[in-house]
A and B are shown apart, each in its own frame.
Chain A
Amino acid sequence: MSPEQILAEIREANLSYLMLAQSLIRTDREQALYRLGVSEETAALIGTLTPAQMMKIAGGSTLLCRFRMDDDIVWNLLTSHGKGAANDGLSRLHASILLAGRHSEAA
């Protein structure tokens, strides 16, 4: 990927993220907090962004959203589903319980 391409892709991803986040927040604020994993202040900020502001923010060289599964347990649960199809639902369920609990500590 050329540098120009990288910047264009990042911009695209940022823009999609911001637009999705904004429509989630406008549809149901509280549920959006859970889905996005952001604080109420951040949600209020994203909710009021104008399209022009969005374009400006999206056009940086870094991504705006951050990876949420930054620990081994959750990561292993989510990636090991190939080894036993029967346990797939179970490990994903396990991972979502862990994630839901984790975020409540962070918020």
Chain B
Amino acid sequence: MARNKSILTEAKQIERAVTLINLGARLQVLESETDLSYERLLRLYKEVAGKSPSKGQLPFSTDWFMTWQPNIHSSLFLNIHEYLNKSAALDEIDNVIKAYQLYTEQISTYGLEPLLSVTRAWRLVKFVDNGMLTMTACSKCGGHYVTHPHEIARHFICGLCNPPARAGKGKLAGSLQLSRRDCDQTHTDHAAPTAH
């Protein structure tokens, strides 16, 4: 009986691993979230993705989530993740997978590139679990955004209500573009250079 059960569990884990590989997850995510051996995961990865997994360490810094554009993407993902977390009883990793699918879907309807990779999304959830990052409500719009813990909620204003001076200047395709003129109209107190 125990044997039957383990095969079922394994089938479920392989299915999860395949979904994660298709979403572009790094091997370290698979190793952490399944009980499958490294060798089997490697073989699975090559079979599904048709190439060897990228090597090297995972990004480990929380700083990336604090920069303007990544913060917006991360906040959207985390809001969806929290929503699923509260409304449905799911295993943690399935929650990440489903929230990530909803996130990429939503981002693509806006004609943007998903800046947040599934590996980073998974990492973000871990950071929040460890208390290294948290969500703080913006004092202007009331939305919840990824921040360092102990952000003073009363004074916190999100990057969307108050974009930094250089925000949206990137010419990268699929990135957020911000026309400064509109921005100044809505935030007249914002003394940003208007040079284009």
Contact = CB atoms under 8 A, between A and B. Distances in A.
Contacts of B153: none
Contacts of A89: 110-112, 176-177
Contacts, number: 94
A31 B81 CA distance: 10
A16 interface: no
The contact size tier of chain B is 35 or more
The contact size tier of chain A is 20 to 34
Given A84-B182, A101-B79, A29 B88 contact: yes
Interface of B is mostly: helix
Contact of A34 (B102, B144, B177, B178): B102
A57 B160 CA distance: 42
B87 A33 contact: yes
Nearest to A39: B87
B83 A104 contact: yes
Given A93-B160, A94-B160, A96-B76, A104 B141 contact: no
Contacts of B183: 87
B110 A34 contact: no
B143 A34 contact: no
